[in-house]
Amino acid sequence: MRFLIVRTDIRAVVDTDITAAWAGGHRLRDETTRPEPRRQVVHAEDRDAALHLARAIATVGAVRSGKQRVKVLPLDDPGHRRARPGPPDT
């Protein structure tokens, strides 16, 4: 399985946004509707390589200081769905 390693900026929020999200029961950050700005994108062919690259990218000063984050995302084939585990055999 292939993986995508992404380094993004962390979007700053103010206390009023946190309070509104808490009161309204919605998410403060929703990556599907408003993704964080990307700084770097790298592909890896397997999980071990992806984690190795993510650890290397995490040594960047902005990541270490909390201004950016590193995400490792699995990329599945569009036609491939993961099988759900069924009931145990009796």
Contact 18, 11 (CB under 8 A): no
Name 21's Cβ contacts closer than 8 Å, sequence gap at least 6.
Answer: 27, 28
pLDDT(6) > 60: yes
Q: Where are the domains of the chain?
A: 2-75
pLDDT(82) > 70: no
pTM: 0.68
Dist CA 13 CA 31 (whole Å): 15
pLDDT at 7: 96
The tens digit of pLDDT for each residue in 27-64 reads: 877 777 888 889 999 999 999 999 999 999 999 999 99
